[in-house]
Amino acid sequence: MSTSLIETKGVSKIFGAFTAVDKVDFAIEENDAVGIIGPNGAGKTTFINILTGNFIPEEGRIFYMGKDITDVRIEKRIEMGIFRTFQLVHVFDNVSVYENLALSYYRKEENRSVPLNMFLVNFLKKKDIRRKVEEALELFHLEKKMDDIVGNLSLGNQKKLEIAMAWIADPAIFILDEPFAGISDHEIDDILVILKKLHHKKTIIIVEHKLSKLTEIVDTLCVMHEGQVIASGPCEETLNNPEVRKSYWKIED
């Protein structure tokens, strides 16, 4: 068996009487792209939260590059290169676009355990930060918004910014929670272009409802239903799986 980049074995997350994630086995190879789909309440976001360390699963183990990380804390997992975005856009709305990106990049470059350094660094003046941030701004077509306070941007631009913040951090694995929710088709295409550039260069896990867009960038689909993975495999094949047709599309054969 080849080692997967990240792998879960029988993980479950239980809230009181409700089992949100039920004994899920999941694996993704390095530089693959996997889409996770499923109806609302299927446990997709909870599952992501288990991968990133927000939730510690009641049962099962999580492995990252063959190493058991089940009990590893959030910060440690981020250092290992697991980076996520959020379903409800998470950006810093009281500082500028530039500063948002710089914050994301700076953490990776600097030793975060020495915060005193942080008093000496000026994001605008530090050359390598500036170069990298400008690269990101260009790639994501946000150059014109560089100095804008993020709270004044459209939702689409904020979503783009959040993905740009992931991109600039250059993680080993991108976990994107509904990156296309609530934004226009045009903006989705913008993001798709960038994600396609990362395709097969980076490991990507995307939770999404917009299937038509999703299948453009993922090789594998993983369908969740009531906390369980009911099917996974190549897109076409998975979507035609009888159980998926029944429980996801509500089509009775």
- The upper half-sphere exposure of residue 11, i.e. CA atoms within 13 Å in the direction of its Cβ, equals 29
Q: For residue 192, give the nearest of 170, 172, 212 by alpha carbon.
A: 212
Among 10, 151, 234, 242, binds another protein (CB under 8 A): 151
**Contact call for residue 121 and another protein (CB under 8 A):** yes
x/- track of binding to another protein for residues 167-186 (CB under 8 A): --x-----------------
* Torsional class of 153: left (φ above 0), alpha (ψ -120 to 50), beta (otherwise): beta
Write the interaction track for another protein spanning residues 33-52; mark x where CB under 8 A is met and - where it is not: -------------------x
Nearest residue (CB) to another protein, 69 versus 244:
69
Verify binding: residue 239, another protein, rule CB under 8 A: no
For another protein, the closer CB: 97 or 244: 97
Q: What is the dihedral of CA 186, 189, 193, 198, to 10 degrees?
A: 130
Query: Could you tell me the smallest distance in angstroms from the CB atom of residue 150 to another protein?
Result: 8
Minimum separation from the CB atom of position 76 to another protein (A): 9
Cα separation of 253 and 245, whole Å?
8
Residue 147 in contact with another protein, rule: CB under 8 A: yes
Task: Tell which one of 48, 78, 163, 244 touches another protein (CB under 8 A).
Answer: 78
- Separation of alpha carbons 81 and 253, rounded Å: 43
Window of 28-36, 92-100, 200-208, 245-253 that interacts with another protein by CB under 8 A: 92-100
Closest CA to 22 of 34, 31, 13: 13
- Report the candidate in 238, 200, 177, 222 with the shortest Cα–Cα distance to residue 25: 222
Query: Site for another protein (CB under 8 A): which residue of 32, 99, 178, 208?
Result: 99
106 binds another protein (CB under 8 A): yes
Q: 118 or 251, CB closer to another protein?
A: 118
Token digits for 241?
């799986």
Buried b (16+ CB within 10 A) or exposed e, 107-122: ebeeeeeeeeeeeeee
Residue linked to tokens 């290992």: 80
Least distance from another protein to the Cβ atom of residue 90, Å: 4
* Binding stretches for another protein (CB under 8 A): 52, 74-75, 78-79, 83-84, 86, 90-95, 99-100, 102-104, 106-108, 110, 112-113, 115, 117-124, 147-149, 151-152, 165, 169
